[in-house]
Chains A and B, each alone.
Chain A
Amino acid sequence: QEQLQESGPGLVKPSETLSLTCTVSGGSISGYSWNWIRQPPGKGLEWIGYIYYSGRTKYKPSLTSRITMSVDTSKNQFSLRLSSVTAADTAVYYCARKTGNPYYFDSWGQGTLVTVSS
């Protein structure tokens, strides 16, 4: 059974860059799209974007100017960088695998809370 695990700082200062990595174990990163989804405390789920194993990306338009995603197939990892963060970016960040058609998120990491505060 494939497992996903997020890692990265739990506290980021305003205006700085949030950086997270998702490590995929028990399976290959090839052949799927790899997604980031976040959930502010007490609120709903927001899709941020995805990256294919090939490196092709698709981001949420409202976040495009601040997002960079990358993939390292040799390490079975993919990463998120979100620049110029504010308190509104405080959330639990999940990495998740999306299947091919039909498209749904079938594997999720446990999530990591990132707080933006000085």
Chain B
Amino acid sequence: DIQMTQSPSSLSASVGDRVTITCRASQSISTYLNWYQQKPGKAPKVLLYAASTLQSGVPSRFSASGSGTDFTLTINSLQPEDFATYYCQQSSNTPLTFGQGTRLEIE
């Protein structure tokens, strides 16, 4: 199985801040990497797919990059609605696997 490791596991930030979350794959996954946002009691929602493509309707303050084994998600100018848990997910090989999540909290 491909292991996905996110860092940090949790993060405190303020409205207006810029934050970066990293995701590392245990082997190369090219750009088969997706990012999801999950709020309490809700299903995850895709933010970006194929490592850097913004899903329709997602604000442009979300961006992502990377290929191979190392990936980053950046949120510019944090908004109150961005405080949530973020997951990376690889779609290179089955079993499809997720990172353990990064909880973004208000400082």
Interface of A with B (CB < 8 Å)? 35, 44-47, 58, 60-61, 94, 96, 98, 102-106, 108-111
In this complex, the interface size class of chain B, counting residues with CB under 8 Å from chain A, is 20 to 34
Determine the chain A residues whose CB is within 8 A of the CB of B89 once the complex forms: 45, 104-105
Interface of B with A (CB < 8 Å)? 1, 32, 34, 36, 42-46, 49-50, 53, 55, 87, 89, 91, 94-101
Cross-chain contact of B98 among A46, A98, A106, A109 (Cβ < 8 A): A46
Say whether, besides A47-B95, A60-B95, A108-B43, A102 and B53 are in contact (CB < 8 Å): yes
**How far apart are A34's CB and chain B's nearest CB, in angstroms?**
13
Cross-chain contact of B32 among A61, A96, A103, A109 (Cβ < 8 A): A103
What are 22 A-to-B residue pairs whose CB atoms are below 8 Å? Answer: A35-B96, A44-B87, A44-B98, A44-B99, A44-B100, A44-B101, A45-B101, A47-B95, A47-B98, A60-B95, A61-B95, A94-B44, A102-B50, A102-B53, A103-B32, A104-B50, A104-B91, A106-B55, A108-B43, A108-B44, A110-B42, A110-B43
